[in-house]
Amino acid sequence: MAFNSIKENRFKHPRIGKYLRQDILPTTFCPGCGCGTVLNCFVKAVEELELAPEKLVFVTGIGCSAWIPSPYFKGDTLHTTHGRSLAFATGVKVMRPDLKVIVIAGDGDIAGIGGNHLIHAARRNIDISVFMVNNRNYGMTGGQVSPTTPFGVFTATTPYRNTEQPLQAGEVVAAAGANYVSRWTTYHVFPLVKAVKEALGVKGFSFVEIISQCPVSYGKMIKMRKASDFLKLYRDKSVRMAQAKNMTEEELKGKIIVGKLQERDRAEFVTGLRRINEELQSELSD
Amino acid sequence: MVEIDEDLCKGCEICSDFCPKGVLGLSDVINKKGYYLPKTVKKNKCTGCRLCELMCPELAILISKK
Amino acid sequence: MQVVRINVPGISNINLKKIKESKVDFRKTHLKEIENSTHFLLGDEAAAYGALYAGCNFFAGYPITPASEIAEVLARELPRVNGYFVQMEDEIASISAIIGAAWAGGKAMTATSGPGFSLMQENIGYAIMTETPCVIINVQRSGPSTGQATKPAQGDVLQARWGTHGDHEIIAISPSSVQETFFLTIEAFNLSEKYRTPVILLMDGEIAHLRENIIFPSLEEVSVLERRIGEAGSFAFGGEMVPPMSMFGQGRFLHVTGSTHEPNGMRDVSSQSVHQELVTRLYDKIKNARGEISRVEEDYVSGSRIGVLSYGAAARPAKGAVLKARAQGKAVDFLRLISIWPFPVEAVKNFIGRVDKIFVPEMNLGQISREVERFSAKPVIPVSKIGGMIHTVDEILEQINGI
């Protein structure tokens, strides 16, 4: 029996039947998990852009956020090993630049173990869209500290307090060479949909960092169990880019800078590779 | 009109907490998975902004014109 | 002085009359220009050209001695055949990229040495679990760790078999000459497509950095197996012993995962039977095909009481020692393993049956000798040499003569 054989929409929302693998719904995400909101916003963006799912390839890693496309989004999916999505995605994109390659995974996967690959993919400015769902811990394994956990926080592996500073992934990726970087939270759903659309339309490396709630694992650690409480926190702690420019480092402590961090139009990696082949083909046929 | 997909809802209360008009509240109806479903408490206040529809982690809300 | 000829499977089919010595300038070479010519090349270069003949169109790698030359040749040659070369940020990224490229329809390869091979293990397991055809060249060098970075060894043989975690089978083949490296690279691609598995080409620094005469046949003379793509709706991960593959971009909404999965690719980690069915099929797919995959070179004489078994670079002085022993009147059998994994059990058992004592020269402290021991009630004597120097004929001969 071939999968995806269900034609009629079993659920109320038309986007479910159109874009998701219905047989396995509801999702295995915890109640109130931000991953679900990201999936929701992503699907809306795809619909508004009228992107054909046949032209999308999702490459994901290990962790709750990696489950956003795999298995829920009905599209070609490469669910890879922890941290390595960007490297796998590079191979896919070089061979099939006509397909839109999308990486969706978490902060631990992309900025922790995958940090090296993240920096180099951004440096190459390869035409891949990365959505890093940042829930500030390793949620799937029970709430351990991650490279984006705020300073001083109690987690399963920082039982006294976190003595490390968190990585500002968006800023690092911008410095490494990405054409597009923005950051939003799962509270800012409308700007997030817009950012997803912008990222998917970029030719070059696009990166959207999405601060997201983890009410069960991280929530247990920081004693915040309701998804809504996280979202209120994001609402209250967010500062738009334009405002942040006029704030001191002290004023920005504990704040989440949201908006577009970088937008430019540098040469894209695969285009450059292919140009060499074209030049050679014409040279050799002379 | 706010339609809730009962089989999908996980009772996270994001929709009822964030509706700008307070249209949704919690019902005492429990679905198959044991979650309390939201219900419309202020029907005429819905402006169709679709914030709840987009925030819902389960895509369990559909806003339709009625 | 006796010249030892290593018989190279594949070369007897070539019309040698067409071969001319070539003065081609490699900086301006198109693949068609090197057909039907001879050259004097490194083992590494032979591997790169073998890949091109096999239709390789994607290489991702990282510089490492003694494999860097493979990357350098392919960086130059792949764009000429409209293929792609990417130097990735590390070996883990390299193996990842070739797997991604394979699912996007590419024939992909990477090349490394011990330290890089160690890094790649996790994703070799991923390629096994997802049944991704790809070729991994390990040009073995002296280890462990950084070891003697520029010197050859054969110390990764058991790692090639068991380097990645979990129950799995693997195919690994090992050339003994520059010419054979060319053919076995093509063979590696063919095996990877036939069995939908990563294949390891176990080279060693000795052959990789050795220059020998090499014949390039015409492209038509070389048999290349193309990928078997299934019909729409077919299962990409079950249903047959070696299921036909699918690719991204065919509108099939393929789901490829390293987690335990059903025949349609969807993850299912809770079912004992799904896991058992998948993993035993992956195992059996290669184990049951051992007869077809096994490749050895048998050089037997009647009345032999002593056997010498070797592979890769060490097989050369080993064969030399065998010939010298025979010249001295001793009847010695010689078995050269060309496929290392799956271990050619039938050929080895037959070989053991013929003799009373087996010597296994290898450039490690006894890895294949252990495998031979498993099947032999007769004494198996490892003739180990480590430290980056290949055995001499006389060193092996002394062992044979019991000195």
- Within a domain: residue C291? no
* Cβ contact C372:C360 at 8 Å: yes
- Topology of domain B2-63, per CATH? Alpha-Beta Plaits (3.30.70)
For residue C68 the two structure tokens come to 């860097």
> What residue type is assigned to position C336 of the chain?
R
> How far apart are the C-alpha atoms of A240 and A250, rounded to whole Å?
16
> How far apart are the C-alpha atoms of B21 and C276, rounded to whole Å?
54
> How far apart are the C-alpha atoms of C198 and C98, rounded to whole Å?
10
Length of chain B, in residues? 66
C88 interaction partners in chain A (CB closer than 8 Å): 87, 90, 120
DSSP β-ladder status, C332-337 and C296-299 = antiparallel
* Cβ contact A25:A69 at 8 Å: no
* Cβ contact B66:A43 at 8 Å: no
> What does the pLDDT read at residue A282?
84
Length of chain C, in residues? 403
Residue C334 has pLDDT above 60, yes or no: yes
User: Is C205 in the same domain as C340?
Assistant: no
A39 interaction partners in chain B (CB closer than 8 Å): 57, 59
> What does the pLDDT read at residue C221?
87
Exposure class string for C8-44: b at 16+ Cβ within 10 A, else e? bebeeebeeeebeebeeeeeebeeeebbbbbbebbbb
Q: Quick count: other Cβ atoms within 10 Å of Cβ C82?
A: 12
The structural domains of chain A, with segments of one domain joined by +, span: 14-284
Q: How many CB contacts within 8 angstroms connect chain A with chain B?
A: 86
Domain made up of A14-284: CATH architecture: 3-Layer(aba) Sandwich (3.40)
**Whose structure tokens read 């479903």?**
B37
pTM of the model: 0.96
The three-class DSSP label of residue A76 is strand
User: Is C205 in the same domain as C310?
Assistant: no
Question: In this complex, do A228 and B13 lie within 8 Å of one another by their Cβ atoms?
Answer: yes
> How far apart are the C-alpha atoms of C342 and C345, rounded to whole Å?
8
B37 interaction partners in chain A (CB closer than 8 Å): none
Å between C238 CA and nearest CA of chain A: 12
User: Is C202 in the same domain as C306?
Assistant: no
User: Is C216 in the same domain as C324?
Assistant: no
The three-class DSSP label of residue A157 is coil
Domain end position, chosen among C169, C194, C221: C221
Kindly report the three-state secondary structure assignment for every residue of chain C.
CCCCCCCCCCHHHCCHHHCEECCCCHHHCCHHHHCCEEEEEEHHHHHHHHHHHCCCCEEEECCCCCCHHHHHHHHHHHHHHCCEEEECCCHHHHHHHHHHHHHCCCCEEEEECHHHHHHHHHHHHHHHHHCCCEEEEEEEEECCCCCEEEEECCCCHHHHHHCCCCCCCCEEECCCCHHHHHHHHHHHHHHHHHHCCEEEEEEEHHHHCCEEEEEECCHHHCCCCCCCECCCCCCCCCCCCCCCECCCCCCCCCEEECCCECCCCCECCCCHHHHHHHHHHHHHHHHCCHHHHCCEEEECCCCCCEEEEEEHHHHHHHHHHHHHHHHCCCCEEEEEECEEECCCHHHHHHHHHHCCEEEEEECCCCCHHHHHHHCCCCCEEEEECCCCCCCCHHHHHHHHCCC
C-alpha dihedral (B50, B51, B53, B58), degrees to nearest 10? 170
Would you give the distance in Å from CA A11 to the centre of its chain?
26
Task: Kindly report the average pLDDT of chain A as a whole number.
Answer: 95
> How far apart are the C-alpha atoms of A255 and B39, rounded to whole Å?
34
> How far apart are the C-alpha atoms of C319 and C323, rounded to whole Å?
6
> What does the pLDDT read at residue C28?
56
pLDDT confidence band for C130 (50 / 70 / 90): very high
Phi, psi of A70 (to 5 degrees): -110, 110
Nearest to A44 among B54, B57, B62 (CB): B54
* Cβ contact A127:A198 at 8 Å: no
B42 DSSP assignment: S
DSSP β-ladder status, B36-40 and C84-87 = unpaired
- Domain that residue C49 falls in: 11-221
> What does the pLDDT read at residue A3?
45
Question: Where on the phi/psi map is residue C385: left (φ > 0), alpha (ψ -120 to 50), or beta?
Answer: beta
> What does the pLDDT read at residue A284?
72
Q: CA separation (Å) from C370 to B51, C146, C152, C174, C381?
A: 67, 25, 21, 18, 10
Q: Read off the pLDDT of each residue in C168-186 and give the average, rounded to a whole number.
A: 97
Domain end position, chosen among C185, C200, C221: C221
Å between B30 CA and nearest CA of chain A: 14
> What does the pLDDT read at residue A2?
37
Å between B65 CA and nearest CA of chain A: 14
The structural domains of chain B, with segments of one domain joined by +, span: 2-63
Residue of A nearest to B18 (CA): A228
Residue ranges of chain B whose CB lies within 8 Å of a chain A CB = 3, 5, 7-8, 10-14, 17-18, 33, 35, 51, 53-62
Q: For an interface test with A, which of B55, B63, B64 has the most A Cβ atoms less than 10 Å from its Cβ? A: B55
Residue C21 has pLDDT above 70, yes or no: no
Domain count, chain C: 2
Q: C3 vs A77, which has greater pLDDT?
A: A77
> What residue type is assigned to position C280 of the chain?
T
Domain end position, chosen among C167, C189, C221: C221
Q: Read off the pLDDT of each residue in C95-100 and give the average, rounded to a whole number.
A: 98
- Write the pLDDT tens digit of every residue in A164-220: 999 999 999 999 999 999 999 999 999 999 999 999 999 999 999 999 999 999 999
Question: In this complex, do A76 and C252 lie within 8 Å of one another by their Cβ atoms?
Answer: yes
Contacts of C119 (CB under 8 A, 6+ apart): C90, C91, C92, C112
> What does the pLDDT read at residue A8?
77
Residue C173 has pLDDT above 80, yes or no: yes
Q: CA separation (Å) from C10 to A120, B48, C16, C179, C183?
A: 41, 72, 12, 10, 7
C34 interaction partners in chain A (CB closer than 8 Å): none
Question: In this complex, do A79 and C103 lie within 8 Å of one another by their Cβ atoms?
Answer: no
> What does the pLDDT read at residue A1?
32
Task: Kindly report the average pLDDT of chain C as a whole number.
Answer: 94
pLDDT confidence band for C218 (50 / 70 / 90): confident
Question: In this complex, do B57 and A231 lie within 8 Å of one another by their Cβ atoms?
Answer: no
Nearest to B57 among A40, A44, A226 (CB): A40
Q: Quick count: other Cβ atoms within 10 Å of Cβ A61?
A: 27
For residue C115 the two structure tokens come to 């330290």
- Within a domain: residue C245? no
Domain harbouring C206, CATH code: 3.40.50.970
For residue C210 the two structure tokens come to 């050795």
Question: In this complex, do A228 and B3 lie within 8 Å of one another by their Cβ atoms?
Answer: no
Q: C390 vs C6, which has greater pLDDT?
A: C390
**Whose structure tokens read 């019309």?**
C15
> What does the pLDDT read at residue A233?
97
Single out the residue of A106, A71, A80, A75 nearest to residue C96, CA to CA: A80
Residue C24 has pLDDT above 90, yes or no: no
Question: In this complex, do B57 and A44 lie within 8 Å of one another by their Cβ atoms?
Answer: no
- Within a domain: residue C355? yes
Q: Read off the pLDDT of each residue in A261-286 and give the average, rounded to a whole number.
A: 91
- Within a domain: residue C190? yes
Question: In this complex, do A32 and B57 lie within 8 Å of one another by their Cβ atoms?
Answer: yes
For B58, half-sphere exposure in the C-beta direction (CA atoms, 13 angstrom radius) is: 27
> What does the pLDDT read at residue C219?
85
DSSP β-ladder status, C296-299 and C108-112 = unpaired
- Write the pLDDT tens digit of every residue in A214-237: 999 999 999 999 999 999 999 999
- Write the pLDDT tens digit of every residue in B6-58: 999 999 999 999 999 999 999 999 999 999 999 999 989 999 999 999 999 99
B3 interaction partners in chain A (CB closer than 8 Å): 12
- Within a domain: residue C201? yes
- Within a domain: residue C2? no
Residue C279 has pLDDT above 90, yes or no: yes
User: Is C216 in the same domain as C306?
Assistant: no
User: Is C185 in the same domain as C43?
Assistant: yes
A141 DSSP assignment: T
> How far apart are the C-alpha atoms of C384 and C363, rounded to whole Å?
6
Which percentage of chain C shows pLDDT scores above 70?
93
> How far apart are the C-alpha atoms of C350 and C370, rounded to whole Å?
17
For C169, half-sphere exposure in the C-beta direction (CA atoms, 13 angstrom radius) is: 23
> How far apart are the C-alpha atoms of C45 and C71, rounded to whole Å?
9
Nearest to B14 among A12, A26, A32 (CB): A32
